[in-house]
Amino acid sequence: METYGLEKLGILNPTAVYRNLSPAALVEAALRRGEGQLSDKGALTVTTGKYTGRSPKDKFIVDTPAVHDTIAWGSVNVPITKEKFDAIKNKMAAYLQNREIFIFDGFAGADPACTKKFRIVNELASENLFIHQLLIRPTAEELADYGEADFTIIAAPGFKCIPEVDGVNSEAAIMIDYEAKMVIIAGSQYAGEIKKSVFSVMNYLMPKEGVLPMHCSANMDPETGDTAVFFGLSGTGKTTLSADPNRKLIGDDEHGWSDRGIFNFEGGCYAKTINLDPEGEPEIYGAIRFGSLMENVVLDPETRVPDFNDGSLTENTRVGYPVDFISNAAIPGIGKIPKVVIFLTADAFGVLPPISRLDENAAMYHFVTGFTSKLAGTERGITEPQPTFSTLFGAPFMPMDPSVYAEMLGERIEKYNTKVYLVNTGWSGGPYGVGSRMKLKYTRAMITAALNGTFDNAEYKHDEIFNVDVPQSCPDVPAEIMNPRDTWADKAAYDEAAKKLARMFQENFAKKYPNMPKHIVDAGPRG
């Protein structure tokens, strides 16, 4: 039996080893093993137990002399010793003895000059299907010549840590050893942990090669090739808004920006499905078919039709599928230098303009600030929107100092004269619980106007509180929507809420970035 180097990981006696099985074979294996069931459209559907979202308090980075000075240690990048990592890795290897092992050897990085090889070792066939569809799949020739992986990820949800013995916080642990080029994921079946571990690795490796790694989606005009990127945390609309039927999708979540252009790190998409509407999101809806993996989506027990409105297991219901399940996907996932950058935020206060233009300094301010609201389900314990500031719109996945990434973005905006807009996909007419969520069709219309140059010659009004320029009209959007104060019945309540949020911006910035240059500080909200 070929073991594909598993003995080097300490996995000595697997009952069977399957490498790069087809999606059909992986679905068959998952069903045989009782890991899930098929929906009416053929998507493999699984439940992930208590972990239905990322578990940031269980993530660690191994602190070794070789990487110590390159990591921004703190509450996000939490150190753990090499000894503890190795002890858990060895226990996990022992757990995996006498079990079936599923291996996927794939790539991250569509630009051949930046491609990295990832070997994913799975206990579950369903998770192997997920990562098979999410990463870039090798051809038969590439697989034959694969050689050694640049990084190895071992995911064993059935192995549970013992916190008081293993020195971790719960039965789950997501641990990256950058020096050993290995990631271990214990205790959690949420497949997003595998995907985001790849992203965290790329975010460490790419800056060393002069490439800006970005937590963003990207698409391009099918005729001109003009490219746009969309930054935003989970739930702000990155996947939905980039899956535009009028544009070609480069990718929905993770990209690099080099001096040649942008490129997708992945070969698939991982979309939220809660309240999925086939009319509002036809591309995502159509991608849910055989070969897709749905997580925590409730099926009718008789018809197996998914109920996308059912959030009883979690609001963070998900589907993973290869990018070519989107009919207008750009294959390979490579685009030109971006002409437009969109920062997406979901403002639960209901006070930020639905779209505003940012100059270079304001772009740097909002990139570093990364304001949004954590939406229900994207993390364990989040049941309603909470205002948050996530550096670079992706702090949990950025191991290096924020200034490394921020300076790289600033340099590119200036060099290429890229236009930047802040888009609020959150609430209008009042805060969460009073107002209503911005209509998707209005947000799409505003983004279309930003992409096609309609806003280049628009009339703007300066918002004195948030210190941004707000276009006063947009095709297919009611004029009163453009200025959030106009949507509130109680104008005094709006003023109070807006000033409160502006102060939150200022306090967060002063606390986190006390040494930021004055011209960037001054570009933020004024209150």
Question: Known binder of ligand: residue 281?
Answer: yes
Is 32 an annotated catalytic residue? Answer: no
Is 33 an annotated catalytic residue? Answer: no
Is 238 an annotated catalytic residue? Answer: yes
Is 277 an annotated catalytic residue? Answer: no
How far apart, in whole angstroms, are the C-alpha atoms of residue 182 and residue 22?
A: 25
Which one from 117, 238, 374, 419 is the annotated catalytic residue? 238
Which one from 55, 188, 227, 234 is the annotated catalytic residue? 234
For residue 518, give every residue at least 6 positions away whose Cβ sits within 8 Å of its Cβ, in sequence order, or none: none
Question: Known binder of ligand: residue 304?
Answer: no
Is 383 an annotated catalytic residue? Answer: no
Q: What tokens were used for 244?
A: 């535009």
Question: Known binder of ligand: residue 232?
Answer: yes
Question: Known binder of ligand: residue 31?
Answer: no
How far apart, in whole angstroms, are the C-alpha atoms of residue 468 and residue 461?
A: 8
Question: Known binder of ligand: residue 119?
Answer: no
Is 318 an annotated catalytic residue? Answer: yes
Which one from 105, 166, 253, 463 is the annotated catalytic residue? 253
Which one from 215, 247, 248, 374 is the annotated catalytic residue? 215
Give the DSSP per-residue string, 43-72: -EEE--TT--SB-GGGEEEE--TTTGGGS-
In this structure, are strands 338-345 and 227-231 parallel, antiparallel, or unpaired? parallel
Question: Known binder of ligand: residue 524?
Answer: no
Which one from 239, 372, 391, 425 is the annotated catalytic residue? 239
Which one from 196, 339, 366, 444 is the annotated catalytic residue? 196
Question: Known binder of ligand: residue 391?
Answer: no
Which one from 318, 366, 374, 412 is the annotated catalytic residue? 318
Question: Known binder of ligand: residue 234?
Answer: yes
How far apart, in whole angstroms, are the C-alpha atoms of residue 132 and residue 483?
A: 45
Is 221 an annotated catalytic residue? Answer: no
Q: Tokens 């994921």 belong to which residue? A: 185
Which one from 39, 54, 63, 119 is the annotated catalytic residue? 54
Give the DSSP per-residue string, 191-229: THHHHHHHHHHHHHHGGGGT-EEEEEEEEE-TTT--EEE
How far apart, in whole angstroms, are the C-alpha atoms of residue 326 and residue 268?
A: 9
Is 456 an annotated catalytic residue? Answer: no
Which residue stretches of 282-423 are H helix? 282-286, 360-369, 402-416
Question: Known binder of ligand: residue 196?
Answer: yes
Q: Phi first, then psi: what are they for 213, rounded to 5°? A: -85, 140
Local structure of 311: helix, strand or coil = coil
Question: Known binder of ligand: residue 236?
Answer: yes
Name the amino acid, one letter, at 423: V
Residues forming beta bridges with residue 261, ordered by sequence position: 258
How far apart, in whole angstroms, are the C-alpha atoms of residue 294 and residue 36?
A: 10
How far apart, in whole angstroms, are the C-alpha atoms of residue 425 and residue 522?
A: 25
Question: Known binder of ligand: residue 240?
Answer: yes
Question: Known binder of ligand: residue 238?
Answer: yes
Question: Known binder of ligand: residue 318?
Answer: yes
| Contact present, 314 and 377 (Cβ < 8 Å) | yes
Binding-site positions: 54, 190, 196, 215, 232-240, 253, 281, 318, 443
Supply the residues annotated as catalytic.
Answer: 54, 196, 215, 234, 238-239, 253, 318
Give the residue ranges of the annotated binding site for ATP: 196, 215, 232-240, 281, 318, 443
Per the annotation, binding residues for substrate are 54, 190, 196, 318
Please state the residue numbers annotated as binding site for Mn(2+): 196, 215, 253
